[in-house]
């Protein structure tokens, strides 16, 4: 077999393969989007996290600013401690409100940040005090049913 033909085809094959890997990481996998720039850690205590999962996004005004790093239960307060990694380019005021939201009716759950007006910013390792738990659909429905039932009996 001619040596230069082998070289040519191996060259084409390896180049194509590397291009495919590049395509998969940039166009399909969006390598920039999932990497956080010099991330720092924030914690928040929630009464109920609903279906929040590790690696769920943290959004502020709809923009992804971080990811949920870990979820644990505090042994003394029985609250859920959510640890988040936040992109180093963004800082938030100390009275930022953390809520657990759902994108769409059946979509994934994420942590939403509503910034307040405090002049001081949250630093790495700080704990967000003001939080709102996830809305649990079953509780909402049962509240609605009970209030309906009470209306019926008072008439």
Binding residues (CB under 8 A) for other proteins: these are 1, 3, 6-7, 9-10, 12-14, 16-18, 20-21, 23-25, 27-31, 33-35, 55
Q: Decide: residue 80, CB within 10 A, 0-12 exposed, 13-18 middle, 19+ buried.
A: buried
CB of 84 to other proteins, least distance (A): 17
- 17 versus 125: smaller Cβ distance to other proteins: 17
- 27 versus 148: smaller Cβ distance to other proteins: 27
Q: What's the half-sphere exposure (Cβ side, CA atoms, 13 Å) at 12?
A: 5
CB of 104 to other proteins, least distance (A): 10
Q: How many C-beta atoms lie closer than 10 Å to residue 43's C-beta?
A: 16
């Amino acid at each position: 077999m001619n040596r230069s033909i082998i070289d040519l085809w191996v060259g084409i094959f390896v180049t194509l393969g590397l291009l495919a890997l590049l395509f998969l990481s940039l166009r399909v996998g969006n390598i920039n989007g999932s990497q956080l720039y010099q991330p720092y850690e924030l914690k928040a205590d929630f009464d109920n996290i609903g279906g929040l999962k590790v690696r769920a996004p943290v959004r502020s005004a709809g923009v992804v600013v971080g990811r949920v790093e870990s979820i644990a239960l505090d042994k003394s307060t029985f609250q859920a401690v959510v640890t988040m990694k936040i992109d180093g380019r963004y800082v938030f005021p100390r009275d930022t409100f953390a809520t657990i939201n759902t994108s769409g009716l059946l979509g994934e759950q994420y942590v939403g940040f509503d910034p307040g007006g405090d002049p001081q910013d949250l630093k790495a390792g700080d704990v967000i005090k003001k939080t709102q738990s996830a809305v649990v659909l079953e509780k909402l429905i049962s509240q609605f049913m009970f209030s309906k039932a009470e209306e019926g009996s008072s008439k």
